[in-house]
Amino acid sequence: MPTHAPRALALLLALLATACVSLDYDLASVPVPVSAKPAEPGAGEVVPFRIEARNVLWFDGLFGRSTPDVAALVAEKARGYDGIADFKVGQETNGHQWLLTHLTLSLVRMKTVVVRGELVRIAPR
C-alpha cells in the first residue's frame, strides 16, 4: 500500500519554494505628496527614478526578517522635489536570489524590492 507522505512533503516544499514574500510600508512620513497617477503634462520638471533594496526572510520569518524602509528610501530620493507621481512598489528575483532560496529549501527567502516613480518639481509661474 503506497503512502502519500512523500507526495505531501514534495507538495509542501514546492509551495514553500514559490511562496511570496510580502512587504508592508507606510508612506505617511514622506514629506511630499505621493500619487500612483502619472505626472500631469506641463507639471514642470519630471525625473523618473528607480530604487532597489533587499528583502530577506530568515527561516520563514521565525528568526527575523530584513526589510527595507520604503518610506525612508522614498523620502531621501524626494528631497528637493515637490511630489512623486506614477509611484509603484514591487518585488523581483534575480537568478542568484532564486538559487539561494531554493538551495536553502526556502528557509532563506530573498527578493529585490523595486520602487519606481517620477520625481516632480513644479515649474515656477
Contacts of 21 (CB under 8 A, 6+ apart): 55, 57, 91, 109, 111
What pLDDT was estimated at residue 48?
A: 96
Residue 1: predicted pLDDT: 47
pLDDT over 80 (residue 17): no
**pLDDT of residue 40 exceeding 80:** yes
- Residue for cell digits 522614498? 74
- pLDDT averaged over the chain? 83
Query: Given this structure, which CATH class describes domain 5-122?
Result: alpha beta
Q: Which residue has the higher pLDDT, 105 or 125?
A: 105
Report pTM: 0.74
Count other Cβ atoms within 10 Å, centred on residue 91: 13
Q: Which residues contact 120 (CB under 8 A, 6 or more apart)?
A: 39, 43, 44, 45, 46, 81, 82, 83, 84, 85
Q: With bands split at pLDDT 50, 70 and 90, how would you rate the model's confidence at 61?
A: low
| Domain definitions of the chain by residue range | 5-122
Single out the residue of 69, 70, 60 nearest to residue 21, CA to CA: 60
Q: Does 20 score more than 60 pLDDT?
A: no
Percent of the residues in the chain that have a pLDDT greater than 90, as a whole number:
42
Per-residue confidence (pLDDT) for residue 38, from 0 to 100: 93
